[in-house]
Amino acid sequence: MVKIISLFSVVLKSFSKFIFKLILFLDSYIISAHDFKSNNTTYYEPFRKFSVDSEPIIQKVEKLDYKELLNDYLLKHNKHLKPVSRRRASKLNFKGNCPICNAPHDYIYENNVKAKQLLCKVCNHTFTLNKDFLEKIVFRCPYCSKTLERIKDRNNYVIYKCKHKKCSFYLDKLKKLTPEQLKEYKKHPSNFKIHFIYRAFDINFESLERSSMPNLNITVDLANIRHSKHTLGLILTYYVNYGLSSRKTAAIMHDIHQVKISHQTIMNYANSVSAMVLPLLEKYPYELSFDLCGDETYIRVKGKKHYVFFFSDKTKKIITSYQVFRNRDTLSAIISLYQTFKKYHGKLPEDLKVIVDGNPIYNVAWSYFKSMDVNFDLFQVIGLTNNTDIDKDYRPFKQVTERLNRTFKDDYVQMNGFGNIESANAYMVLFVTFFNFLRPHKSLKYKTPIMLDGFNKLPHMPSKWLSLIDLSYSCIN
């Protein structure tokens, strides 16, 4: 019994020492963490804000002859330029010629493996395995005139970077770092942007016109349907205005109006009407203000997330973009903005403002339009609290888009998703047509965003839908 008690006391004593050491460790860890936080508040940020540098110096690459370059090398150095000596472990898979001087692959070696960048030993030009128009252009830093290095290939654009250590842009950014920031930069250089960066876009501006129009087809000849025109107006009213699904619309048509119709016929009618009113929605002479706000929301297509980029006039409540995309990326943002800008039917206003959230795809989209000489001011409202003056001044703009998203979601929630992206785009066209031409808004004193002549005298909503379809014929013809 005495041995057991003594053994227990030893264990208890060692355990108490362990607890004491653990308390000291935690106390010192908390103090050091507090000191680290207090000493690093000047430069620590949860994320690095997106920034766009000035335009680079752009030069077209002149075609060279590798045979002449080899002869020049022989005359200058009194010896032949040897091909690249390769090791077995670094065997080059590229079997083509240099796009600048046409030198064979024996003179080409890998310059940057991650970026798939190759270097020609004869002409000293770099190129990548992606054959595009950028291979014919040389980008030079506007501060040091050195050639920019191609570092990353993104969807629809390529990132170039100036890595010259004596570049004035780099040296100025380096001087502005505090001693603490300089230490952090040496440990984690990717957290700081101190090199000149340029994004070269591989997007044809003319192709945006085709991409900004949803691909819709008229599946049913509305002039020869076996139901009455009033029935068609009722179907659109229930399906679009009240956000009922096609099955519920078919049920209410049978239960209330004694019209037997299948849900697939309702879908066919809706898709055909959307194709009819799309030209009216795109070609109508809108009178937009100088303030636009936008945001993206998601819908389900075959159970997978797809995205809708809503842009609207903050003052007049007119929706200007509404297309469904498979991805929430830069190209989707560019197409949505282009769809909005063409609603001005001419030159954009000089003081045009676009207010969005903090998603960096909008910054890249702004940079693309700037390179195409399409200028506007971009303001980003980030988070739920007003941390900056921009957040405080433009949060009401952002709330307009959030309210639009909620209005759409209230109707969409009964759709249970869509079977394909064409049906999703067809519904978006109908929803925006209703929102712009038929839906009264409280902020507009219960008027519609676009007042059409004679619509106030029509007796009910089905007749307004039928008049809207008749008005669309003039846009088609």
In contact, 356 and 377? CB cutoff 8 Å: no
**Residue 319: what are its φ and ψ, rounded to 5°?**
-80, 130
Span 458-469, average pLDDT: 93
- Local structure of 186: helix, strand or coil: helix
Domain ranges of the chain: 57-201, 280-476
Mean pLDDT for the stretch of residues 111-123: 77
Helix (H) or strand (E) holding 137: strand 137-140
With cut-offs at 50, 70 and 90, classify the pLDDT of residue 89: very low
Pick the CATH number of 280-476 from 3.40.50.1970, 3.30.420.10, 3.30.540.10, 3.30.365.10: 3.30.420.10
Closest CA to 150 of 92, 200, 108: 200
171-221 pLDDT per residue, tens = 999 998 999 988 898 888 888 888 999 888 877 777 787 777 787 888 888
Render the burial of 114-140: b for 16+ CB within 10 Å, e for the rest: ebebbbbbbbebbbbeeeeebbeebbb
Whether residue 226 is predicted with pLDDT greater than 60 in this model: the reply is yes
Interior angle at CA 435, CA 431 and CA 439, nearest 5 = 125
For 104, which DSSP code?
Answer: -
Question: Rounded distance, CA 192 to CA 457, Å?
Answer: 63
Q: Alpha carbon 111 to chain centroid distance?
A: 31
Measuring CA to CA, how many Å separate 455 from each of 241, 448, 461? 16, 10, 10
Mean pLDDT on 272-280:
92
Is the pLDDT at 46 greater than 80? The verdict is no
- 22 confidence band (pLDDT: 50, 70, 90): low
Q: Is the distance from CB of 128 to CB of 117 less than 8 angstroms?
A: yes
For 419-448, how does the pLDDT look when each residue is reduced to its tens digit (9 = 90+)? Answer: 889 999 999 999 999 999 999 998 899 999
Beta bridge partners of 137: 60
Helices (H), 94-220: 168-175, 179-187, 207-211
Q: Which of 20-24, 28-32, 161-165, 262-266 has the lowest mean pLDDT?
A: 28-32
Across-strand partners of 312?
293, 319
Q: Letter for the amino acid at 394?
A: Y
Report d(CA 477, CA 468) in Å as an integer: 15
Structure tokens at 476: 């088609």
